[in-house]
Amino acid sequence: MKNGYKILWSKRAFEDLDGILNYLEENWTKKEVRKFVSKLHKRLILLSYFPKLYSESHQKKNVRKSVLTKQVVIYYSLNNNVVELIRLFDSRQHPSKLKL
C-alpha cells in the first residue's frame, strides 16, 4: 500500500498509553519520556507500512504483537487497510491481566 495502513487506537490502548506516559512523567526525565514517544511513533510508522512484520500472538487469533521495549508490548489486529491498536501492555504485569 502506497501510503500505509491507517492506525486506529482502541479506547483500551489509549488508556494504556496514558498510564504509561503518566508513570514515565512521574518517575523518569523528560528526555526519557520523549525517547519513549519517539520510539512509539517510529514503530507505528513501521506498522502502518509493514503490518505483518510481527508475529501473531498466542493469546488470540488474528492478533499480532510487537515488543516495543522490555516493558511494553503492542498488541494489534489488521482489518482491511486499518491497523487497530488493541493494547499497549506493560509486560511487568501478571499475564492474566492481559485481556485482548
Q: Domain map of the chain by residue range? A: 6-92
Q: Which three cell numbers stand for residue 80?
A: 482491511
Share of the chain above pLDDT 90, in %: 76
Grid coordinates 526525565 are at which residue?
29
For the domain covering 6-92, report its CATH number.
Answer: 3.30.2310.20
Measured CA to CA, the distance from residue 34 to residue 53 in angstroms comes to 25
DSSP-derived secondary structure letter, 13: H
**Range with lowest mean pLDDT among 15-19, 44-48, 76-80, 90-94:** 90-94
Write down the mean pLDDT value for the chain: 90
Grid coordinates 501473531 are at which residue?
56
Is the pLDDT reported for residue 22 higher than 80?
Answer: yes
- Would you mind telling me the total number of residues written for the chain in this entry? 100
pTM of the complete model: 0.89
Is the pLDDT reported for residue 47 higher than 80?
Answer: yes
**Which has more confidence, 61 or 75?**
75
